[in-house]
Amino acid sequence: MTACKSRHFHYKPCDAFCQDADLDYVLLIGTQAKKARISLNLPARLIRAQNTMTGNELRSKYLQFFESKDSLVIPSGSLIPSDPTTLLTSAGMQPLVPYFKGEEAPPKSRLASCQKCCRADDIEQVGVTWRHASFFEMLGNFSFGDYFKREAIVWGWEFLTKTLGIDPAVLWVSVYHEDLEAPEIWRRDVGLSDERIYRFGKKDNWWGPVGKSGPCGPDSEIFFDRGAKYDTGDPELDRPGGDGDRYGEIWNLVFQQYNQQENGELLPLPAPGIDTGMGLERTAAILQGVDTIHHTDLFAPIVNAIVHIKNLPSTLQEGGPETELPFIITPYRLHPQNPTTWPIRVIADHIRAAVFLGADGIVPGNNGRDYMMRRFIRRAFLMGRNLGYRKPFLHRIVPVIARSYGDIYPEVSQSATNIAQLIKREEKRFESTLTDGMDRLEYLMEGLEESREILPGDEAFRLYETYGFPLELTREILSKEGIGIDEEGYQRAAEAHSKVSGAAVGEYEKSIFGAAETRFLGYETTRTEAQLLEFQPEGGNFVVLLDQTPFYAESGGQIGDQGEIIGADFKARVLDTKKNGKAWIHTVEMLEGAPKNGPVTAIVDVERRHAIERAHSATHLLHAALRLHLGDHVQQRGSLVAPDRLRFDFVHNAPLSDEENRLVEDTVNQEILRSLPVEIEQKTLAEAKAMGAMALFGEKYGDIVRTVKMGDFSLELCGGTHLPNTSSTGLCRIISEGGVSANIRRIEAYTGTLALTHDRETQTRLRTAAQILGTQPDNIVGATEKMRARVKELERQLQQAQQKVASASAEDLLSGAVEINGVKLLATRAPQGLNTDALRNLADQLAQKSNGVVVLGADNDGKVLWAVKASPDAIKAGAHAGNLVRELAKTTGGGGGGRPDFAQAGGKDASKIDDALKQAADVLESQIK
């Protein structure tokens, strides 16, 4: 062990991570130095523990400080916000918005927290600047109608200068230019001179709202002068509030005074309060005297795991028991010129973000927050190519992050194994398409006209749709070559591709019924007297508004009720029921007379309602059974509850085995047989969560919620209807299980009479199949195996016959070869009926004899098969089998591609094979030129 010129003590190979790269080891500090000395049996005199505050210590000191100011310390909220207008929690105050708006009462008027936050709006800046991070922790203290500006400012200054010991001379502040109170407090109560107080407009010193509406107000920011070495020479950048790196914003004191409406109107909040945010990572970087947040001890374990990925203990790779990691160290220094610096920072940031998203139940997918997690993983995986990592590696870092954060955020360590599996699965999925996608992108780049240098938008979207390349990755790769993207064309292609489902209630109904309200009585009764208030014709039927109704409106996966509405002079069949705000809209078909305003009788189809309720209760049991047998990571991601039929989408990273399917189905039916009482109660949201009620993904809940409890087996928040006990479900039969999208599985099941009908039909089919096979139902498996073996033998004989036919015709086919610029080309029809394997073998035989390019088109029962083979000499001359077959396949209504030496494709129109073959010479000639 030795010390380098930077007074860093080293004990482990540092590669290029110390400025004195000729030395062999890297620095340890604080408690980790002591831990490493013990685990590595190093002499104490060789370890120098710096007097530097770690990130964990900073977090603790902050919360302890505000606890001493009579604040209640609350745990972090989820990264999934309750606000439907935002994808992720991106600010420390976001979970507390209902308190600021006066919609809910806070547990105390003074709160403090360390909130998990995540965002991707400035993802391109991650790793470029010293401060940007996708996932970050926001330390915050909050007041709801309690203390205001003076206390927030004075306490903030006290914490920074007294508790953390930061020199006041390096701290600067900014205020909103129309706020006269804040600068006076900074002068009078803190003692800052006017020169240290900057005044800016709304762009710089106004905060919020999160999303389209919500609390907002002026703010005052605190900046740390990081020193002249970070100057850029541009005074506009090198000032507090500038975009340069010299003055780092570490604390924002927000004075929440207004509730912004979606139209931009500012309404006063019922109780003005304080919302402050201090970035944990930024402040740690300043206290530890390092260049970027990625140099802090918060990132060091992750960064070093990336660098030493091959040294990770095998038990840790598989999510096994914790082991010592001797290279978890901090701080270190990255070479400014080191080309791996930026990729390592990006990978460290993105994998940390993905792990925390996964811990809150988010999975890689194509939409919303799922897409954000996929983007983090895929961008990090692509960055790994800069480090020479070609195989999945990100999942191996998950246990390192879990060990670093597990004590603070238990959900990370509890779900680490599942998260690692999700990430590994996503890496493998991306790996399988990455090579083809890069080949396609490089091909497109080669084909761009130099004067244009713009990738067409439809091609950029095809890269995403076919190869999983998000637009951001394509943009990033192309920018290095100075090529842009037609992003408007991309959006047009995306819009044309998307299948947007209609809203539950259209704009037509909204314009008719406006803000009307309906009293829902369907929990208590299925028949009631009501007043028909409004009706309008729609597509040959009518839409009807009642003042009160027993009809359940489609919501939470449960479809709407049907039944009848009977008036004095008319009778109508209710076809569907949906919601429009607080109004229940009934779509009706007139059976007698015409609708008119006045008293009516509304009658629900009870048998249908009960069939729906059987499926709904079974859905709750299914959810609980899946979590019991697969794990707590299972979360609902959508459902359909129809008469005796259900569809349930859930988070899981692998298909269910036959045994797992059986266990789940058996458990559901066991709980049905137990005849569990279905107890429904109204609770406050806090009470329901305290009971352990499961809230469903994507649902928005009010202050009062409805809990549905089935014995000691299931407890969920639910607004749907249910039968009084589980035995009323009768029977539940899982019909299918399969994938919907990445990491999302779907189960379809039948209940009640539909399940019985399904079982009877299955028995009938089994008996019919047994009769066809000439056996008894009990012997059908053995008979099927014998038949399958016979079919395989016949297929083998057929393939041999096809090979003989192809070989016999090879010499005749060779006579049709022509020469194109010195390259021999054979473009011809293959014997009719050849399958893919036979066609490929024939192409190989012909290519060996012709030493050029062989193009074969075959008609296989009306379907077109193409095979193109190019010899090494032909490839040197410019021939490319993949590009050639792609052009020919277009003519026959198909597509395909492949390598330069061999490619296959398909088509739909066999009548165009000869037309396509005639084009082969021109296509090959253009390649050779």
Question: What was the pLDDT predicted at 686?
Answer: 74
Mean pLDDT calculated for residue range 59-71: 96
Q: Which residue has better confidence, 50 or 724?
A: 724
Question: For residue 60, what are its two tokens?
Answer: 């603790």
Percentage of residues of the chain with pLDDT beyond 90: 41
- Sheet containing strand 853-860, edge to edge, reads 818-820, 823-829, 853-860, 863-870, 902-907, 896-898
Range 805-810 average pLDDT: 62
Contact in structure between 171 and 222 (CB atoms under 8 Å): yes
Q: Which residues contact 470 (CB under 8 A, 6 or more apart)?
A: 371, 374, 375, 378, 379, 464
pLDDT in tens, 746-794: 999 999 999 999 999 989 989 998 898 888 988 888 888 888 888 888 8
pLDDT at 9: 32
87 with 376: CB under 8 angstroms?
A: no
How far is residue 795's CA from residue 401's CA, in Å, rounded to a whole number?
53
d(CA 756, CA 363): 36
Q: Which two tokens stand for residue 68?
A: 């001493």
pLDDT tops 70 at residue 745: yes
What pLDDT sits at residue 506? 45
Asked if 333 and 18 count as a contact pair (C-beta separation under 8 A), the reply is: yes
DSSP class per residue in 123-192: GGGTTTSSS--SEEEEEEEEEESS--HHHHHHHHHHIIIIIS---GGGEEEEEETT-SHHHHHIIIII--
- Interstrand relation of 645-651 and 744-751 (parallel, antiparallel or unpaired): antiparallel
| Residue 274, both tokens | 């304080």
What is the C-alpha separation between 416 and 397, in angstroms, rounded?
Answer: 10
Run of H or E including 898: strand 896-898
**Span 813-845, pLDDT tens digits:** 777 788 888 888 988 888 776 778 888 888 888
Categorize the per-residue pLDDT at 433 as very low, low, confident or very high, splitting at 50, 70 and 90: confident
Give DSSP secondary structure letters for 163-181.
IS---GGGEEEEEETT-SH
Per mean pLDDT, which range of 326-330, 658-662, 705-709, 878-882 is the poorest? 326-330
- To the nearest 10°, report the CA torsion of 458, 463, 465, 471: -80
CA-CA-CA-CA dihedral for 54, 60, 61, 66, to nearest 10: 150
Please give the Cα distance from 298 to 284 (Å, whole number): 8
For 7, the 3-state DSSP assignment is coil
Instruction: Give 158 or 390, the one with higher predicted confidence.
Output: 158
Separation of alpha carbons 27 and 710, rounded Å: 56
pLDDT in tens, 101-134: 777 889 999 999 999 999 988 888 898 888 999 9
Whether the pLDDT of residue 29 is over 60: the answer is: no
Three-class SS of residue 553?
Answer: coil
State the Cα–Cα distance between residues 390 and 411, nearest whole angstrom.
30
Q: Judge whether residue 884 has pLDDT over 80.
A: yes
Residue-wise pLDDT tens digits, 517-565: 899 999 999 999 999 998 888 777 899 999 999 999 998 889 999 999 9
Q: Would you say 604 and 666 are in contact if contact means Cβ atoms under 8 Å apart?
A: no
pLDDT tens, residue by residue, 273-331: 999 999 999 999 999 988 899 999 999 889 888 988 866 544 434 333 333 343 333 33
Query: Is the pLDDT confidence value at 250 over 50?
Result: yes
